[in-house]
Structure 1
Amino acid sequence: MTFDLDSDFRPFPALEQIPFTKFRFPAGEAHLRITSHIASDKVIITHRASSFEALGEILLAVDALRRLGVKHLELVLPYFPAARQDRVMIFGEPLTVKVYTDIINAQGFEKVTLFDPHSDVTPALLDSCQVISNTPFIKEVISDLPSDTYLISPDGGALKKIYKLAQDLKDYDVVECSKSRNVQTGEISKFTVYQDDLQARPCLIVDDICDGGGTFLGLAKALKAKNAGPLYLAVSHGIFSKGLEQLCEVFEKIYTTNSFTDHPLSPQLIQVPLEDKVVV
């Protein structure tokens, strides 16, 4: 059985779903109630969590299920909300990913499944963690693109994953890039493409997260300066906090999944559902 805390996200549609209600008390506290008996001692909790409140919903679900006698619990978190805060860069900051993972580990899940986490830090901190790679998602993407497309690594942090991806896909060349960032402000000042001439070939930037999109707009400009052909963007977790207008001016197509939310249909934005393609 599954306990799908986001009613629009059901990664295991073939499994029976536990019925429940979510509501708030007048003072604002979140609450939930399971509305039927549970006929299984194993439940998979799923959630597209992006905040501490969503993490709190998971904790409430765990307690409610335990009180109903469920002994075996698993968790599916396609997007891990604190994954980018995986190191302390500035004095006085918390190691947020450690805070989240400590809370999740305390629940005693038998398995925690993540889709394409930001780095190796989160899986290393989580007990019984299973990682679903971005390979099935990118296979879906490249089937829609020319066969001579370059795979573009936007920075050093993406190199390990993109070379593993290229090995899985076979016959795709990788172009390495880098960026310089001000640690204090987060501002990116320079992009470098480590190839002199891209020969007007199509270029697919592959990364895990697109938030505001500034990294990809700056990198697109640097790629065009090196004679890039049509540009495409594939991100596992599409947040798009500043909208898609500027990105759509630069990229022929933008590919993402529904790991973070469901996006409106758009001719340039293609959303690959995790229910069918990745989470198994």
Structure 2
Amino acid sequence: MILNLDSKFNPTTNQQTIDFESFVFAGGEPHIKIKSDLTDLKSVIISTRIRSFNDIGMLLVAVDALRRAKVNNLELILPYFPGARQDRVASSGEALTAKVYADLINAQNFDTVTIFDAHSDVSPALINNCVNLDNSDFIRTVIEDIDEELTLIAPDSGASKKIHHLAEKLAITDVIECSKSRNPDTRELSEFKVYADDLAGKPCLVVDDICDGGRTFIGIAKALKKKNAGKIYLAVSHGIFSWGFDELNKYFEKIFCTDSFQTLEETNCLKQIPLTF
């Protein structure tokens, strides 16, 4: 059976769902009550999407409720791992946020923790019994939807580490790396570079794991156009889109994401591809 803590996210099709009710007390404390009969049930999958620290709290109380119901084996599906971008201490006084979340997850003693397209190798290394699924099936679906011969674009050094492995799995030979500079104090981005001389009107697919505000992708799209790129598409595994889509839509023919972080309404410019595990 599966306990889907986010009612809009159901990543399995072959599991009976566990009925429950949950709420947050006036003091801010999350609470849950399992309503399904779990008698003699030994194994449960929990799925959730974490967008706030309260979502972590709900996960923790859910684990406690299941343990008290004598469920021995728990698996977690957590496609977007929170804090993954803060996977190193860049300057004095910062927290190692990825480890904070990993420690909370590890304390629950899950048999497996399945995440999707980890930001770097750090999070999977910090999480006990971690299964990190890559983005190849997602990108394959994106390419089929676009139905053009595409050049894959890695927008920065982090994406470059993964894109050649992706291209090999998808039998794509046309891959271009890009780079940017970031001021560690102000977080401002600059010096976007595309390591190609002339793209000759080729359609390009920019691939990365996370889109938050989108500044990296806007900067790279401008740089690609200076190198004579054709249509530019964007595919991100985890769509946060904290600045919305108005600016992104000026530069990208279409944006693709999964439902790992949130459920979005599709438009002519946005397609969301649901994850299944």
For this structure pair, what is the TM-score category when the shorter chain's length is used for normalisation?
Answer: over 0.9
Whether the 8 Å CA contact 1:43–1:72 is kept in 2: the answer is yes
Instruction: State the SS of the aligned residue for 1:274.
Output: coil
Q: Does residue 73 in structure 1 map to residue 74 in structure 2?
A: yes
Superposed CA deviations along residues 144-184 of structure 1, whole A, max 9, x for unmatched, are: 23543100000111112100000001033110100000001
The one-letter amino acid of 1:193's match is V
**Structure 1, unaligned runs of 5 or more:** none
2:274 alignment partner in structure 1: 273
1:22 alignment partner in structure 2: 22
1:193 alignment partner in structure 2: 194
Superposed CA deviations along residues 205-226 of structure 1, whole A, max 9, x for unmatched, are: 0000000011100110000001
1:106 alignment partner in structure 2: 107
2:7 alignment partner in structure 1: 7
Q: Does residue 155 in structure 1 map to residue 156 in structure 2?
A: yes
The one-letter amino acid of 2:13's match is P
Instruction: State the SS of the aligned residue for 1:101.
Output: helix
Q: Does residue 175 in structure 1 map to residue 176 in structure 2?
A: yes
Whether the 8 Å CA contact 1:48–1:79 is kept in 2: the answer is yes
1:33 alignment partner in structure 2: 33
How far off is 1:4 after superposition? 0.6
Counterpart CA distance in 1 for 2:48 and 2:147 is 35
Whether the 8 Å CA contact 1:50–1:80 is kept in 2: the answer is no
Q: Which runs of 4+ in 1 moved over 3 A?
A: none
Whether the 8 Å CA contact 2:212–2:243 is kept in 1: the answer is yes
Whether the 8 Å CA contact 2:177–2:194 is kept in 1: the answer is yes
1:238 alignment partner in structure 2: 239
Q: Does residue 249 in structure 1 map to residue 253 in structure 2?
A: no
Whether the 8 Å CA contact 2:30–2:61 is kept in 1: the answer is no
Whether the 8 Å CA contact 1:146–1:202 is kept in 2: the answer is no
How far off is 1:24 after superposition? 2.0
Counterpart CA distance in 1 for 2:32 and 2:94 is 32
- When normalised by structure 2's length, the TM-score is 0.97
Superposed CA deviations along residues 74-103 of structure 1, whole A, max 9, x for unmatched, are: 100010111001010111001000011011
CA RMSD after TM alignment:
1.0
Counterpart CA distance in 2 for 1:102 and 1:223 is 40
Aligned residues: 276
How far off is 1:255 after superposition? 0.5
Within 5 A, what are the aligned runs for 1:77-96? 77-96=78-97
Whether the 8 Å CA contact 2:211–2:239 is kept in 1: the answer is yes
Counterpart CA distance in 2 for 1:28 and 1:96 is 22
- When normalised by structure 1's length, the TM-score is 0.96
Task: Provide the identity percentage.
Answer: 55
Superposed CA deviations along residues 46-85 of structure 1, whole A, max 9, x for unmatched, are: 1011222111111101100000000000100010111001
Instruction: State the SS of the aligned residue for 2:139.
Output: helix
Counterpart CA distance in 2 for 1:67 and 1:227 is 61
Counterpart CA distance in 2 for 1:198 and 1:166 is 18
Counterpart CA distance in 2 for 1:97 and 1:266 is 33
Counterpart CA distance in 2 for 1:102 and 1:171 is 38
Farther-moved stretch of structure 1 (174-183 vs 24-33) = 24-33
How far off is 1:203 after superposition? 0.5
Farther-moved stretch of structure 1 (156-165 vs 63-72) = 156-165
The one-letter amino acid of 1:263's match is L
**Structure 2, unaligned runs of 5 or more:** none
1:46 alignment partner in structure 2: 47
Whether the 8 Å CA contact 1:148–1:172 is kept in 2: the answer is no
Counterpart CA distance in 2 for 1:265 and 1:136 is 20
Counterpart CA distance in 1 for 2:173 and 2:79 is 26
Counterpart CA distance in 1 for 2:91 and 2:202 is 40
